[in-house]
Amino acid sequence: PPTRKSKIDLKKTRLHMSIQEKLFTFYRKHVAIPPTEQSIAKQAALDICAELRNYIHHKFPDMQLREMHLSGSLYDDLQVVRADHIQLMVPLLMEKNLWSCVPGEETILNLPGFCLIRRENVEYFPRGSSYWDRCVVGGYLCPKSVIATFEKVVSGSINWPAIGSILGYVIRPVVPSESLILEVQYEEDRRLFIDFLPLVVLEEHAAVAKAHRLPRYGNMWRLSQRGAETAALMGRDQHDSGCRCLCLKILKAICHYNLQLSHLTASHLTNILLHTCEKESDWSHGVLADRFLQVLRETVGHLEKGELPSAMDPKVDLFFRTHRRGD
Ligand code: GDP
């Protein structure tokens, strides 16, 4: 006859089986985006990116840019629920001897994970030598000013209704908005938001014009970690056919559906998963439920502590909060 212990074990196994089944069902029904929806949205983004490149190239030939390209979860097959947003990376062409990157922790603001872009050699190359000098404020390249420069081009001078009607979309800039966003209606009830993200690459640093929540850091650029974090997670899955990305997508969807959890971003969740990867080696699909519960516990742990060190750079606290006691 079964012992008491084996009965409990059996119950536990059944419970895990049912969590496992529920997770897969939830994924199929509420998380995964149908492939056709994904490809139509991507195509709309590609069309608009091509159109914009063309336009800027012809109308603003002196604007110092590298090739604009798309990026983000829609591109990496990590988007959930709806195919409705993507980033359009706008890399600025920076003259090597005119600009340098000052890591945030070396500045008076002491903010790891961010940096300042300093204008160098003004004595030899006076203001105006670089196209981007127009966006320099107090000796540093100002992300807001770069965004405003694009805004003038993108919202102010392009005839989006005309381009939209040629491409078969309704395109309008989103105003008012903190950053530069285009809303593209590509079907009666389907919208895609394209978020312009200016990007600066200097030596080993890449930084994006995505501001910190606090206005006092307004002149700083955010060091771009998304590519490295995502590649690390996807690489591990590819290596052992693991369920890390699946787990990430389920968690992203849960945060999407629950307003209180919406402060947890893809970046937070990816980093928590990467930390959990350091502790656990088995990520086969059969243990999805266990890993999922473990990542939940880790998440609660980080929230209780109020800190989440970045997996790429432990100096960076991804939960860095505004109002510490006594602050
Ligand atoms: P999701 O949109 O929640 O699925 O998350 P993503 O993984 O696509 O991340 C997009 C978010 O990260 C946007 O808010 C971006 O502004 C921000 N972000 C910060 N740095 C980067 C970067 O280097 N590349 C991209 N694509 N997004 C970045």
Q: Does 271 sit in the ligand 1 pocket, CB within 6 Å?
A: no
pLDDT of 325 higher than 50:
no
- CA-closest residue to ligand 1 atom 10: 72
Contacts of 81 (CB under 8 A, 6+ apart): 30, 31, 33, 253, 256, 257
Q: Ligand 1, residue 206: give the atom nearest the CA.
A: 23
* Structure confidence at residue 321 as a pLDDT band (50, 70, 90): low
- State residue 326's pLDDT score: 36
- State residue 213's pLDDT score: 85
DSSP codes joined into one string, 164-183: HHHHT-EEEE-SS-SSEEEE
DSSP codes joined into one string, 104-154: GGGSTT--TTEEEEEE--TTTS-TTSSGGGGGEETTEE-HHHHHHHHHIII
* Structure confidence at residue 157 as a pLDDT band (50, 70, 90): confident
Share the mean pLDDT of the chain.
Answer: 92
* Mean pLDDT for the stretch of residues 86-115: 95
Distance CA 164, CA 154 (A): 13
The CA-CA-CA angle for residues 273, 274, 279, to 5°, reads 90
pLDDT digit string, tens, across residues 15-65? 767 899 999 999 999 999 999 999 999 999 999 999 999 988 888 888 999
Pair 309, 317: CB distance under 8 Å:
yes
Record the pTM: 0.92
What is the crossing angle of helices 160-167 and 35-59, to 10°? Answer: 130
pLDDT of 159 higher than 50:
yes
Place of tokens 């030598």: 129
Q: Say whether 59 sits in a helix, a strand or coil.
A: helix
Cis-peptide, bond into residue 176, ω within 30° of zero: yes
What's the 225 CA to ligand 1 centre distance in angstroms? 9
- CA-closest residue to ligand 1 atom 23: 224
Q: Ligand 1, residue 210: give the atom nearest the CA.
A: 16
What number of helices (H) and strands (E) belong to the chain?
Answer: 9, 11
- State residue 327's pLDDT score: 36
pLDDT of 201 higher than 50:
yes
Q: How far is CA 54 from the centre of its chain?
A: 25
* Mean pLDDT for the stretch of residues 117-140: 95
Q: Which letter does DSSP use for residue 220 in this model?
A: P
- State residue 323's pLDDT score: 39
Among 140-149, 208-217, 223-232, 301-310, where is mean pLDDT lowest?
A: 208-217
pLDDT of 324 higher than 60:
no
pLDDT digit string, tens, across residues 242-286? 999 999 999 999 999 999 999 999 999 999 999 999 999 999 999
